[in-house]
Amino acid sequence: MNKIKFTAIIPARSGSKGIKNKNINLFFNTPLLVHSINFAKKLSFVNQIIVSTDSEKFANISKKAGAEVPFLRSNNVSKDSSMEEDVLKDIKKKCLKKKYNINKYILWLRPTSPLRDIKTFKKGYDLFCKKKKSVLICVKKECRIFFGKKKKLIPVLNIMKKRSMVRRQELPTAYKIFYGEFFKLPKKINKNYLGKTKYFIEMSKICSLDIDSINDLKLYEKYINHDKKKFIKFLHI
């Protein structure tokens, strides 16, 4: 029986250019970051939930929902340009300073992806326990995509440089990440903190939404309410 325990970390800074206080905007009458807290509470292998935020208001909401906020995030890692590795360094530094213990195994959960499948994450946990390498939760995505350069479309795949149209069946499968990452906290945190080898588990496309605007919140709520029975097991409110 697997005995590895994870600390779930939910990064939730208060600043956001797209939506003011995005991470506490209500989605089905529940603040976005609380969806991730509620989800983490349902995972048997998670025994600690930490919210990394620079806001007292966000911290109070998180604590009320059952998460820990042992310290506020530093201002210098709460900017638009701040990356996950910067936040991890800040967490590690403050944990050492305050003698606050966290697990060496981390599950990173972004609050902007509120729909998640428990079974998929259990599979991700089992794979991590087996491989002891980073495991990323992904969803299958369209790979017939282009970059824009000087108002010209530049295909990502070479095959599309020679043909105007390509069937999906002829192309490799593409995946989008950022729905959750299992990893071991490295002794030295750098830009490649997930390591060279990254395994993945595919999650249902139903869970692929990513909140980036007020319109996203409204449209997704309307879409889900149209067939709520289909989505209810992925909602954590």
This prediction's pTM: 0.94
Q: Domain 6-138+176-234's class? A: alpha beta
One-letter amino acid of 35:
H
CA distance 82 to 101: 24
Give pLDDT, residue 16: 74
Give pLDDT, residue 15: 78
More confident residue, 168 or 85: 85
CA distance 27 to 225: 12
Mean predicted confidence (pLDDT) in 19-38: 94
Asked if 80 and 13 touch (Cβ cutoff 8 Å), the reply is no
Give pLDDT, residue 2: 61
pLDDT digits (tens, 9 = 90+) for 167-198: 988 899 999 999 999 999 999 999 999 999 99
Asked if 49 and 40 touch (Cβ cutoff 8 Å), the reply is yes
CB atoms < 10 A from the CB of 19, how many?
A: 18
pLDDT digits (tens, 9 = 90+) for 45-75: 999 999 999 999 999 999 999 999 999 999 9
Q: Is the pLDDT of residue 122 over 90?
A: yes
Query: Residue 34 — pLDDT band, cuts 50, 70, 90?
Result: very high
Domain boundaries, the chain: 6-138+176-234
Provide the residue count of the chain.
237
Q: What is the mean pLDDT of the chain?
A: 94
Q: What percent of the chain has pLDDT over 90?
A: 84
Q: Between helices 56-65 and 32-41, what is the axis angle to 10°?
A: 30
The pair of structure tokens assigned to 102 is 């966290």
Give pLDDT, residue 19: 78
Give pLDDT, residue 3: 84
Q: In angstroms, how far is CA 149 from the centroid of its own chain?
A: 30
Query: Residue 94 — pLDDT band, cuts 50, 70, 90?
Result: very high
Give pLDDT, residue 168: 86
